[in-house]
Amino acid sequence: MATFFRDIFHYLKSNNVYQGTVKQFRDQQVTNLFAHKHLTAQFTRRTNLYTSSKNNNALPLGSFEFPPSLEQQEQELPPNVFERKKKSTNPPLSFPCIDQLTIRTRSLDGGPEPAYDKIVSGYSLFHHNEPFLCDHGGVLPELDIAYETWGELNEKRDNAILIQTGLSGSSHAKSHEKNVQPGWWEQFIGPGLSIDTNKYFVICTNVIGGCYGSTGPSSIDPSDGERYATRFPILTIFDMVRAQFLLLDYLGISKLHASVGSSMGGMQSLASAWLYPDRVSRLISISACARSHPYSIALRHTQRQVLMADPNWNKGFYYNSIPPHIGMKLAREIATISYRSGPEWEQRFGRRRQLEEQPPALCPDFLIETYLDHQGERFCLQYDPNSLLYISKAMDIFDMSASVLEKLNRIRSANTKKLLNAGSHNDACHVTCDTSSSISQQAFTKPSLKSTSERKHISSLASNVDKNELEDLVHGLSIIKHPSLILGVQSDILFPYWQQKEIAECLRMGGNKDVTYYELDSMYGHDTFLIDLTNVGSAIKGHLEFGG
């Protein structure tokens, strides 16, 4: 490359055009943008000549063309633009935030992609060496599930609690001797705490599709030794739960004391009770929903769009190259807006700026902007972008309505037959032996409604709720008769409290006589389940130890 630029310099000098070119860049600053673009294109083509003999688009040095003349450039400009720019008295703004992103991109050039499964350590690994069929037809030849445990399993093996995580959650919910770093639910799990490890054997997994030890898009496809990338199959929340129950089989746990989840984990807790009604004693669903609604779908859609718009995403095949960290950073900033609440930010940041004495800037300036920038920057290389795409999509398509569940069951049955016809019976054993199939007959048989006097009509939901859709959801949830705790938060904008109220009241309409619903007025928004130990923790402890 040094030889190339030296030759360019000597060529310009030997042809007596060096001084003229320098003068053009010095005196006609308005042309720099055009000249830079013009020269860059040619320099790139000549670089290809020096670096690749097979590039037919490369140009020899002798054919070097100078940028269009000043007069030609003036003709290309919109009216008055040239004169206005020439007379401008204001210097261009500086953009240190953009410069920093550029520098970071250069530092990542050449990879490798961060080893996400090494970010969290100390977990155990369950390996399932048989093909795993996903609801929409994709097959994983084998899978791994990262999990961590706390407490002891009793002799009856009936004191196990499964903690199910949110979108980006790892199995590290609580510190332990193999990983002393605080877990994401550190203050909730432990001796005498909300989830008392003196009484319960607690299990937390990283969901399939994730990147913290469980099989996901960044994992190696054993079929060819390459990363799955976007060859990874589309997942559902039910796929995640089926994989978790394979782990429970391995651990010798036939029935859970409780399935406990927040956010996406709350979806999984509902799915667990629906898929395996005889293997779950009670459930807790916090800040979740029984069907994803348009607002949350829209938020996750925008995150995926900005991520996939990053040219380094490369349709998912960015491993061993530059990861799409800019798109990932922006996606996380959008997500962070939905995780917390306006009232909290009013108290925490207000309208304060980072440097009050400095003039306003287009880069992060207000404290709320610097907070979002920090959150995005911290996260963008700690989580696999493809995992974000797949898991967020699984959340979008989650729907416990009977018609949707019945359709999904038909699709799965058809795909199971295809898998059996394509391979040996043993290769699909886990599909045919999946205990969730035992619910298929009763789950889609519409329950006979008793007299309306035995069933209190839903009156606290919005009056504009579609009655047919509501009945469909009631029918879908009617199999869940377990003692259920449903928690909602008034300041949650990602999963508004009315969605948790919908869960509770549809469970009651479906015949569940043991449903507890709490609505919290915490100002921490969706993240309340991570922060409010007093209210959330107390409700969890009460339901686990005294509920039902």
Can you give the pLDDT at residue 105?
A: 80
Q: What angle do CA 110, 115, 120 make, to 5 degrees?
A: 155
The mean pLDDT value for 286-309 works out to: 97
User: pLDDT tens across 52-68, in order?
Assistant: 444 444 444 444 444 44
pLDDT at 476 over 60: yes
The CA-CA-CA angle for residues 381, 93, 108, to 5°, reads 20
Token pair for 347 = 């108290």
Are residues 406 and 319 both part of a single domain?
no
User: Cα–Cα distance between 361 and 324 in angstroms, integer?
Assistant: 25
pLDDT at 418 over 50: yes
**pLDDT greater than 70 at residue 24:** no
What is the pLDDT at residue 228? Answer: 97
pLDDT given at position 482: 96
What's the Cα-to-Cα distance from 111 to each of 119, 321, 331, rounded to whole Å? 17, 5, 21
Q: Which 3-state string (H, E, C) describes 405-437?
A: HHHHHHHHHHHHHHHHHHCCCHHHHHHHCCHHH
Confidence at residue 428, expressed as pLDDT on a 0 to 100 scale: 45
Marked catalytic residue, from 170, 214, 263, 287: 263
Q: DSSP string covering 330-395, please?
A: HHHHHHHHHHS-HHHHHHHTTT-BS-TTSPP-SSS-BHHHHHHHHHHHHHTTTS-HHHHHHHHHHH
Tokens 């261009």: give the residue. 92
Mean pLDDT lowest for which of 127-136, 225-234, 358-367, 460-469? 460-469
Looking at residue 101, its pLDDT comes to 83
Residue 317 has a pLDDT of 95
Kindly give the pairing relationship between strand 143-150 and strand 201-205: antiparallel
65 belongs to a structural domain: no
Q: 231 CB contacts (<8 Å, ≥6 apart)?
A: 221
Please give the pLDDT value at position 445: 62
327 and 253 part of one domain: no
**CATH code of residue 243:** 3.40.50.1820
Q: What is the pLDDT of residue 58?
A: 43
Q: Which of 492, 522, 527, 543 is catalytic?
A: 492
Domain stops at, among 397, 417, 436: 397
Regarding whether 378 and 318 lie in a shared domain, the answer is yes
CA 504-505-510 angle, 5° bins = 100
pLDDT at 44 over 70: no
Name the average pLDDT for the chain: 83
Residue 106: CB partners within 8 Å, gap ≥ 6?
none
For residues 320, 208, 196 and 185, what is the CA-based torsion angle, rounded to 10 degrees? 40
Structural domain contains residue 537: yes
**Which of 287, 294, 309, 341 is closest to 487 using CA atoms?**
287
Domain total in the chain: 2
pLDDT in tens, 254-290: 999 999 999 999 999 999 999 999 999 999 999 999 9
Range of the domain at 342: 296-397
**Percent above pLDDT 90 for the chain:** 64
- The separation between CA 426 and the C-alpha centre of its own chain, rounded to angstroms, equals 34
How far apart, in whole angstroms, are the C-alpha atoms of residue 96 and residue 113?
25
Q: Quick one: pLDDT at residue 254?
A: 97
Q: Is residue 84 part of a domain?
A: no
67 in a structural domain: no
Looking at the structure, do residues 368 and 318 belong to the same domain, yes or no?
A: yes
Q: Are residues 266 and 344 in the same domain?
A: no
526, 527, 532, 543: the active-site residue: 526
Q: Is residue 133 part of a domain?
A: yes
Residues 326 and 105: beta-carbon distance below 8 Å:
yes
Could you give the CA distance from residue 307 to residue 331 in angstroms, rounded to a whole number? 6
Residue ranges of the alpha helices (H) in 423-481? 429-432, 440-443, 467-477
Spatial separation of the C-alpha atoms in residues 521 and 535, rounded to whole Å = 10
> Torsion angle of alpha carbons 415, 418, 424, 429, nearest 10°?
20
Taking residues 166-185, what's their average pLDDT? 96
CA separation for the pair 74, 82 (Å, rounded): 7
Determine whether 263 is an active site residue.
Answer: yes
Split at pLDDT 50, 70, 90, the class of 15 is low
Among 11-20, 68-77, 298-307, top mean pLDDT goes to 298-307
pLDDT tens column, 307-330: 999 999 999 999 989 999 999 999
* pLDDT confidence of residue 435: 44
Torsion of CA 532, 538, 539, 542, to 10 degrees: 160
Average pLDDT (15-22) is: 50
**One domain, residues 142 and 214:** yes
pLDDT at 96: 87
What are the φ and ψ backbone dihedral angles of 339, each rounded to 5 degrees? -85, -30
Determine, yes or no, domain membership for 434.
Answer: no
> Predicted confidence band at 48 (pLDDT cuts at 50, 70, 90)?
very low
**Which pLDDT score, from 0 to 100, does residue 439 have?**
52
How crowded is residue 252: how many other Cβ atoms within 10 Å of its Cβ?
Answer: 9
Note the pTM of the prediction, 2 decimals: 0.79
Query: Is 324 a domain residue?
Result: yes
Is there a contact between 205 and 264 (Cβ–Cβ < 8 Å)? no
Q: Which residues contact 307 (CB under 8 A, 6 or more apart)?
A: 313, 324, 327, 328, 330, 331, 385, 388, 389
Closest CA to 388 of 340, 440, 332: 332
Contact predicate 368/382, CB 8 Å: no
Token pair of 527, please? 């993240």
Same domain? 180 vs 241: yes
- Does one domain contain both 163 and 130? yes
Q: How far apart are CA 529 and CA 287, in angstroms?
A: 8
* Residue 221, strand partner residues: 226
For 484-524, write each residue's pLDDT tens digit: 999 999 999 999 999 999 999 999 999 999 999 999 999 99
pLDDT band at residue 468 under the 50/70/90 scheme: confident
CB contact set of 465 (below 8 Å; sequence gap of 6+): 502
Task: Kindly state whether residues 236 and 353 are assigned to the same domain.
Answer: no
For residues 447-477, b (16+ Cβ closer than 10 Å) or e, as one string?
A: eeeeeeeeeeebeeeeeeeeeeebbbbbbbb
Average pLDDT over residues 106-115: 69
- Give the domain-ending residue among 361, 378, 397: 397
Residues 254 and 129 in one domain: yes
Helix-helix angle 467-477:497-509, to 10 degrees: 70
Percentage of the chain surpassing pLDDT 70? 75
262/142 same-domain check = yes
Domain's final residue, options 379, 397, 415: 397
- Quick one: 408 and 527 in the same domain? yes
Averaged pLDDT, 476-480 = 97
- Nearest CA to 243 out of 477, 438, 434, 443 is that of 434
Q: Report CA-CA distances (Å) from 305 to 114, 251, 434.
A: 22, 40, 35
Per-residue pLDDT averaged across 299-309, rounded?
Answer: 97
Pick from 108-112, 197-201, 269-273: least confident:
108-112
On whether residue 225 sits in a domain, the answer given is: yes
CATH number at residue 351: 1.10.1740.110
